[in-house]
Chains A and B, each alone.
Chain A
Amino acid sequence: MANDRQPDFEQLPEFEKEFEKLVDQHQSMVFSLALRMTGDRGLAEEIAQDVFMEMDRNLGRLESADHACFWLRRVTMSRSTDAMRRRRVRGIDLWVEMEDVHGAAVEERASPLSARLEQLLATLPEPQRAALILRYQEDLTPEEIAATLAAPVATVKSHLQRGLKLLRAKAATHLKEFVRGH
């Protein structure tokens, strides 16, 4: 979960110098956000690289560790959305690729139920997916999600509500063993 959300940097100059430390602390977050948004491991890695290189260029502007974390989330979500838009223009469905190429790998690492939930998440509309990822991966409040996505809180709440409802409906249809088992 988001247990390393608030790294403890004491001094700003040190913070600026510790690019490597920031990468260590946040690479998992950045990579997971990009992966869940795009569904493409290669693209997620590219996005993560771009995001960290941009952070390197903007280190001086980051005011605190919290700000760095917020900035990374915001830029990652924005870059992921841009990447998906570019791919859509080229007519590539990333999540179809994800299922074909990386589906097996996902199944291996996570429990079958988790993997299938993740696959169902991929079928949700992009704004709902973004809100749910930030809610359940990063454990953010609707207000924090709104700030990250630069969207009104009411809109985010609506995306969360609708996304969750849709995901539950899909889970009820596709994951009957989960529903019956519980």
Chain B
Amino acid sequence: MDIDPVDEFERELRGAFERRPAPPSLKRRLMEKRRAKQVVRPWVTWQRLAASLALTAVLAGGVEWRIVEERRKEEAAREQVFTALRITSHALDQMNARLAARRRGNQD
């Protein structure tokens, strides 16, 4: 039976491209690597936990600092307003006193 040359070539390719056996060391090294990773995992977990806690602490500290800073600024602004009101009140008192004195002078 005549064989189509393309088919034969392709069949030759299939033969040439059969899977190669992997080196025996591949599986051994893989299993070792995996075991090593599993041993390391608790450390990694703790490290991640510690890093998360540290990050949370830093963020919480930052937020707290910001709140305190805002309160301080609010307090300072309130103090300034009170001071301005006191000065205004004092000025008005002085003005009232002068007007009262002048009124008394005009009556005399």
Contact = CB atoms under 8 A, between A and B. Distances in A.
Interface stretch (B3-11, B50-58, B74-82, B92-100): B3-11
B105 to A, nearest CB: 97
Interface of A: 1-2, 19-20, 23-24, 27-32, 35-36, 41, 45, 48-49, 52-53, 56, 109-111, 113-115, 117-118, 121, 132-133, 136-137, 139, 164, 167-168, 171, 178, 182
Contact of A31 (B5, B13, B23, B33): B23
Output the residue of B5, B9, B21 with the most chain A CB within 10 A: B9
B27 interface: yes
Nearest to A167: B13
B12 A48 contact: no
Contact of B14 (A28, A36, A136): A136
A36 B12 CA distance: 16
Nearest to A133: B17
Contact of B22 (A48, A56, A132, A133): A48
Interface string B7-49: 0111011111111111101110111011001000000000000
Contacts of B5: 182
Contacts of A115: 16
A170 B98 CA distance: 116
Contacts of A30: 22
Contacts of A136: 10, 13-14, 16-17
Given A36-B17, A168-B9, A182-B5, A20 B31 contact: yes
A114 B15 contact: yes
